[in-house]
Structure 1
Amino acid sequence: MSRRRYLLVGVSALALTAGAGALYVAPLAADPTGPKDCADVLPHLPGIASSTASATVAEPRWSQRGGTVNDASCLSRTAVAGVVRPRSEADVATALAYARAHHLPVSAAGVKHSMGGQAFRAGGVVLDMRGMQTIRLDENARTVTVGSGATWHAIQLAVHPRFAVKAMQSTDIFSVGGSISVNAHGMDHQAGAVMGSLRSLRVMLADGRIVTASRDENADLFRHIVGGYGLFAVILSAVLDVVPNDIYRSERQLIDYRAFPDTFARIAADPSVGLSYVHLSTAPKTLLQEALVYEYRRFPEDQTLLRQPLGEVASTKVRRLTVNLAKKNDLFKSLKWWSEKNIEHRIETCTVTRAQAQGAGEACLVARNDPMHDSVAYLFNDLPGETDILHEYFVPRDRIVPFIDGMRDIFRSQDANVVNASIRAVGIEDNALSYAPAPAFSVVLYLNQPTTAEGTARMRRLTSDLIDLTSKQSGRFFLPYQLHYSPAQLERAYPEIGAFFAAKRAWDPDGLFSNTWYARYAPAFAKHPAATRPSITSGAPAA
């Protein structure tokens, strides 16, 4: 989410606070004291029996021995053998050797914003890759080489003001390794997902060998690692394209949702539009009917234009209060949408300035890095008994209007607590488990739920109904989120899932790499014909 999405100060804050009445609003604006840890709703998996290894196997340096881990849903509390935070390739090799010797599964984790146990497995070893965060910019090659634990936030700071990342998620909190593992996409409808900006990957296989994977070298492995949920190798580092940090003029328009396909056709035909996304109304009376279309159009370079240093998002408490009040009832949802329509564009932060004084009425200018440089601190809180859940659905572009109509019916019939709904465009993605085998619109939902058994049951029903709606429109759903779907729903959306799991067994025959998602669904496809593992080029043992 970009900083514009909750840029509410002054009048909007006063209006929302006045409407709060007797509500105790201080906790709604308060900074969180740490990650939430609510419950464990993940499927119970068979236990893992650790074996006694030879004394010659080195013990990794544990950052946590035993205990539990969780993810951003706060609903995935899982007991693990421990957490290792490697700072070098040798540390990764030591951890893998230890896990092989003790027959323990290994999962690589970043900031753990997947919400269904994709970053860990019960009883397993978790590699906290955030210790591997080196960043090296090559201005001549227009690439940046980064450790898999580096965040997009840090990368933007390293390449700004001259360069910007080509493709990243729409906010900057995620790690590069995590984004590659789900093949994340963002605001650039021309650049596509992260896969399109990847020059190459340096990875460690289950047997400890380090290889390079790209479109030209170990290409089959590359297609399985990108969007492969950490099941084929540990991503050590990546070489990414960077692009000029263009200056954009920000624009927006309010439209009826039925006009969106024609509106996007205009955007797609205009090469000057570098970034775009859409917000749908979450106000009850206009639910998913009004749409705000945001565009960032390239502005001619001018020697008097100055790109300001990247700053952190301000007014975090006000934004957090706005979001949390919107979860409370329909009045606050309506006020939040009214504020986005009528106030945000009047107080937008313009980060590109002129060396001389600007004239009245000049366009609001930003650098490419600015809209995505948002760590969304205002979305995190310590509120008890509730949590926020992400969904994402990919719908053929000619089916977006009936999909939105069906989604609205589901939301209203189930009284879903929708905090945010947005649309972005994705092109064809050619990885092995692709969410976009054809051009699609991505519908991203941010939903609130109680952390009770009843709240989880209602979210399971909502998720299942939305997946069925997506399938009816020949679409697919994103897999990094909660595991509220059946193997049959998974196969209907991804007919290639059996071949994907078979390829995983070929690349990792001993099953070293695993996570809760794989353990939940792979057994249903175990009878799929075994895949033949391609030969590896340039493999080398870890240093």
Structure 2
Amino acid sequence: MSRGRYLLVGVSAIALAGGAGALYVAPLMADPAGIKDCGNVLPPLPAPSGHAPTSVAEPQWAQRGGTVNDASCLSRTAVKGVVRPTSEAEVAQALAYARATGLPVSAAGVKHSMGGQAFRAGGVVLDMRGMDAITLDRDARTVTVGAGTTWHAIQQAIHPDFAVKAMQSTDIFSVGGSISVNAHGMDHQAGAVMGSLRNIRLMLADGRVVTVSRTENPDLFRHVVGGYGLFGVILSATLDVVPNAIYRSERALIDYRAFPATFERIAADPSVGLAYVHLSTAPGSLLTEALVYQYRQFPEDQALTRAPLGEVPSTKVRRLTVNLAKKNDLFKTMKWWSEKHLEHRLEACTITRATAQGSGEACLVARNDPMHDSVAYLFNKLPGETDILHEYFVPRDRIVPFIDGMRDILRDQKANLVNASIRAVGHEDNALSYAPAPAFSVVLYLNQPTDDAGTAAMRRLTSALIDLTLAEGGRFFLPYQLHYSPEQLVRSYPEIGAFFAAKRQWDPDGLFSNSWYARYAPLAGKQPAATRPSITSGAPAA
């Protein structure tokens, strides 16, 4: 989401509000009071039986008992407790305790998966954010990071010389979480996170630590990437980094039907390093107009200097803009109008020159800049509502009919769509791949009431959009709310049975679990587990 657009619409809103209207505006701008907790819409699950520990000491609890939730605020779950390890030895201790007590273990980062993928009722949660070391190898052009490290911290550590090769489009997420869902972002050439992974250091259910990569334990590597934490605890990862190239920011307004041809031109141009599309959410042009953003590599110049990475300013005004767009179609229209006509005039150009830059020169940014956004403006303290992500992967030749069908569904169900974007993904070869062939990813940012009616409406919308995706030969992304049926899961991911069977091979005692696995494995995973595969270089934890 663009920075300039929010600023302009927000200022306009403040000017329009005035007087008594300020009482309405103030809550829409307010900082969140804490982590939102709106209840629990997860399907009911049986609690783990567990048993009393023998001689194994309890881990150091960061939270004993209580509940946890995720970014949806709708997944409140009672747990045994939360452990926040800072070393491999502390991870091993927590696993030993869980094995001795018969409790499931889930690894968590910032918990932006929205269907309980980071915890299990009655289980032990490993909050991996204490594992956040960063080591840059300039000669190898790699960075080795702890699983709990955020992309924000990595960017700060490697800027201004290097940039991340593949990451999510915002920087708030943890590396372990991004690996566990095989996240992708703005770089259509680099692909998803899997493509830039040199290796992963993983702790297995029995406490052994192994390295997995394309050449070392490759089958386990394919299951860990996009494996939702079910095959082991990611301890650290080594990732490729690339030069922090200078880009010229470009944009074009097109009819959505022209997008496939437009992307073909982008894909054929190696100078375009980053690209994405925003679709109109204004009622009068819903999903018919599209703004194509691309960042084209600019020739290096001794007079060009990369500015330090700064935080996104004007958080309250941007938050106001987002929240007004949820409340009123007029502000949806204003937001889209300003993005089309005024946003580029307010864009932050972060590359400076030794001499003054002329007014007619291009806006230049470093590669790190477009992705250096922790989206603080998306968090609020508004009661009775929450924001939900959907993501659908559609064959590239079916994107236009998919958008047509999606528009009909959104209008028919009166969905409150706040943002819609398109990015390109290539073939992903992990075991549970959302892209078995090159596809376009359609990301929807939706607002819903948190009452029963709002949840029921979101369930209907999710089911309808999944059915549309399946009809067009696509797949839906799994890290979001669990409103889909086991039948829809199997139709979208026919390999799901083999995936669950492999999980039981690597973790025969079922130590690693989460709400998603506990919900769907008994219903969608019918294939029996075989003999546990062999691994290389297994060693006990340090």
Task: State the TM-score, normalizing by the size of structure 1.
Answer: 0.98
SS in 2 for 1:24: helix
Aligned to 2:41: 41
1:119-130 residue pairs with structure 2 within 5 A?
119-130=118-129
Post-superposition Cα deviations, 1:338-389, rounded to whole Å, max 9, x if no partner, equal 1111111001000001011112211000000000000000000000000000
Q: Letter of the aligned partner of 1:189 in structure 2? A: H
What is the rounded CA distance, in whole Å, between the counterparts of 2:339 and 2:359 in structure 1?
23
Deviations 1:238-265 (CA, angstroms, capped at 9, x unpaired): 0000000000000000000000000000
1:301 corresponds in structure 2 to: 300
CA drift of 1:329 comes to 1.5
What SS does structure 2 have at the residue aligned with 1:303? coil
- What's 1:31 paired with? 31
Unaligned runs of 5+ in 1: none
Following the alignment from structure 2 to structure 1, what is the Cα–Cα distance between the partners of residues 338 and 6?
7
CA contact (8 A) 1:420 1:445 kept: yes
Q: Which amino acid aligns with 2:372?
A: H
CA distance in 1, matches of 2:17, 2:424: 36
Residues 181-232 of structure 1: CA deviation (Å, up to 9, x unaligned): 0000000000000000000000000000000000000000000000000000
Q: Which residue of 1 aligns with 2:13?
A: 16
2:459 matched to 1:460? yes
**Structural mapping, 1:60-79, within 5 Å:** 60-79=59-78
Deviations 1:124-161, CA, capped at 9 Å, x for gaps: 00000000000000000000000000000000000000
Quote how far apart the aligned CAs of 1:5 are.
5.0
Which aligned pairs between 1:379-398 and structure 2 lie closer than 5 A? 379-398=378-397
Q: 2-side partners of 1:58 and 1:500: how far apart?
A: 33
Q: 1:513 & 1:461 partners in 2: Cα distance?
A: 31
Report the CA distance shift for 1:19/1:416 in structure 2 as closer, same or farther (over 3 A): farther
Residue aligning to 1:428: 427
Distance of 2:397 and 2:17 partners within structure 1: 41
The aligned residue for residue 470 of structure 1 is: 469
Note the C-alpha offset of 1:269: 0.2
Q: Shift of the alpha carbon at 1:12?
A: 3.0
Structure 1 residue 13: deviation in Å?
2.8
| Partner-residue secondary structure (3-state), 2:381 | coil
Aligned counterpart, 2:233? 234
- CA shift in 2, pair 1:476/1:20, >3 Å: farther
Counterpart mapping for 1:89-238 below 5 A: 89-238=88-237
Offset, 1:524: 1.1
- Stretch moving more, 518-527 or 219-228: 518-527
- Relative to structure 1, the CA distance from residue 99 to residue 262 in structure 2 (aligned partners, 3 Å threshold; closer, same or farther) is same
**Distance (whole Å) between structure 1 residues aligned to residue 481 and residue 16 of structure 2:** 34
Q: Encode CA deviations 1:267-287: one digit per residue, 9 max, x unaligned.
A: 000000000000000000000
Match runs of 1:292-441 below 5 Å:
292-441=291-440
Once the two structures are TM-superposed, the CA of residue 20 in structure 1 deviates from its matched residue by 4.5
Corresponding letter in the other structure for 2:441: S
| Distance (whole Å) between structure 2 residues aligned to residue 396 and residue 47 of structure 1 | 40
Cα deviation code 1:29-80 (max 9, x no counterpart): 111121100111001111222211112x121000000000000000000000
Match of 2:535 in 1: 536
Q: Is the 8 A contact 2:204 2:231 kept in 1?
A: yes
1:415-470 deviation line (CA, Å, top 9, x unaligned): 00000000000000000000000000000000000000000000000000000000
Kept in 2, the 8 Å contact 1:107–1:230? The answer is yes
Aligned amino acid, residue 289 of structure 2: E
Q: In 1, Cα distance between the equivalents of 2:304 and 2:333? A: 38
Q: Deviation per CA, 1:467-505, whole angstroms, max 9, x where unpaired?
A: 000000000000000000000000000000000000000
SS of 1:445's equivalent?
strand
Shift of 1:529: 2.9
Supply the distance in 2 between the matched residues of 1:385 and 1:174 (Cα, whole angstroms). Answer: 25
- Percent identity reads 81
Q: Cα RMSD over matched residues?
A: 1.0
Report the TM-score, using the length of structure 2 for normalisation: 0.98
Aligned residues: 539
SS at match of 2:6: coil
5+ residue gaps, structure 2: none
Q: 1:6 to 1:479 in 2, by over 3 A?
A: farther
Q: Secondary structure of the residue that 2:111 maps to in structure 1?
A: coil
Q: Is the 8 A contact 1:5 1:340 kept in 2?
A: no
User: Deviation at 1:533?
Assistant: 2.7
Distance, in Å, in 2 between the alignment partners of 1:393 and 1:441 is 8
The letter for the 2-side match of 1:8 is: Y
Letter aligned with residue 524 of structure 2: F
How far, CA to CA, are the matches of 2:4 and 2:442 in structure 1? 19
1:16·1:335 contact (CA, 8 Å) conserved in 2? no
For 2:382, the aligned partner's letter is: L
One-letter identity of the residue aligned with 1:451: T
Quote the Cα distance in structure 1 between the aligned partners of 2:356 and 2:93: 58
Using the alignment, how far apart are the partners of 2:443 and 2:167 within structure 1?
15
Tell me, in whole angstroms, the C-alpha distance in 2 between the residues paired with 1:165 and 1:531.
38
